[in-house]
Amino acid sequence: MEQPAKSIRLTYEHVYQFLEWWEEDKLEFRPDLDEKKHHISAWNDDLELIFELKLPLPMPSILPEKRSLREYLKELPEEIPDYTILLVQVGAAAVGFYSDGEAIDHKAIKKYMKRHKRGKAQISYLNTRGKSKAGSRIRLANTVRFFEEINERLTDLEELYESSRILYSITPQLWGLMFASKVPVPFEKKDPRLIKIPRNVHVPDFEEMERLNEIYRDGYLWLPTEEIPEALGKIFEELE
């Protein structure tokens, strides 16, 4: 479903309750768990889509070997787990640790990495020309230090806290440079905790991190019509 007719926002705890009721057969719809899209679809016996449940990003991944609702529910903590948010663009990054859905440790990192007139990042510019210019050398040094500081900050958070999820936004090119830094990234590229933030991100800073957290710490029930199915209406009345 690309665009829902109706979207209902649910807190992490409400999503957990919703899944419990569904697993207990209070909803007579067939669940289809999609690990790539991090959502669960509901279908009736006529193979009509009833709704899609967009899971909160801090909620654990749906593993291929645990594609049943019962197996997935066994892995879920009842309360929102601790998680890290990582936002990286050229010359700007924000890293934060969240507990109970709130930021408790965060840092913004900014470096001069692109020429103001042409707006070309140093990582691209060095492949063409200008390697010997003073401004170019400064931008190169800043680029190297930029990724070192990001990885140092991530390492600090990994040592201080236990993060169950890593919500991130970064281009493939910057992702590669981050892992090429002499300061190692404290997790693997295929770490199962990683989940990409699925929307455009503004210039990374604390305010942008908070904006995205406000959106993605919750779940969303997408309906193909404005009308709420009767079975769902009864469940919403029971939500605490």
In this model, does residue 129 exceed pLDDT 50?
A: no
Q: Give the amino acid at 165.
A: R
pLDDT at 25: 77
- Answer with the residue of higher pLDDT: 67 or 224: 224
DSSP H or E run through 141: helix 134-160
Q: Edge to edge, what strands does the sheet with 49-54 contain?
A: 6-10, 219-223, 49-54, 39-43, 30-34
Q: What is the mean pLDDT of the chain?
A: 88
Between 54 and 239, whose confidence is greater? 54
* Lowest-pLDDT range of 181-185, 209-213, 227-231: 227-231
Distance in angstroms (rounded) separating the CA atoms of residues 198 and 216: 9
Reply yes or no on domain 83-214 having CATH 3.30.420.
yes
Structure token digits, residue 134: 């003073």
Which pLDDT band, with edges at 50, 70 and 90, does 126 fall under? very low
pLDDT score, position 238: 74
Prediction pTM value: 0.88
pLDDT, mean of residues 69-93: 94
Q: Which residue has the tokens 């669960």?
A: 40
**pLDDT tens per residue across span 166-196:** 999 999 999 999 999 999 999 999 999 999 9
In this predicted model, which residue has the larger pLDDT, 131 or 33? Answer: 33
Phi and psi, residue 157, nearest 5°: -65, -40
Contacts of 205 (CB under 8 A, 6+ apart): 92, 94, 108
Instruction: Please tell me the distance from the alpha carbon of residue 103 to that of residue 162, in angstroms, as a whole number.
Output: 14
Contact 122, 203 (CB under 8 A): no
The candidate with the shortest Cα–Cα distance to 162, out of 215, 116, 99, 206, is 99
Work out the pLDDT band at 124, boundaries 50, 70, 90: low
Per-residue DSSP letter, 91:
T
Sorted by where each begins, the domain ranges of the chain are: 6-79+217-238, 83-214
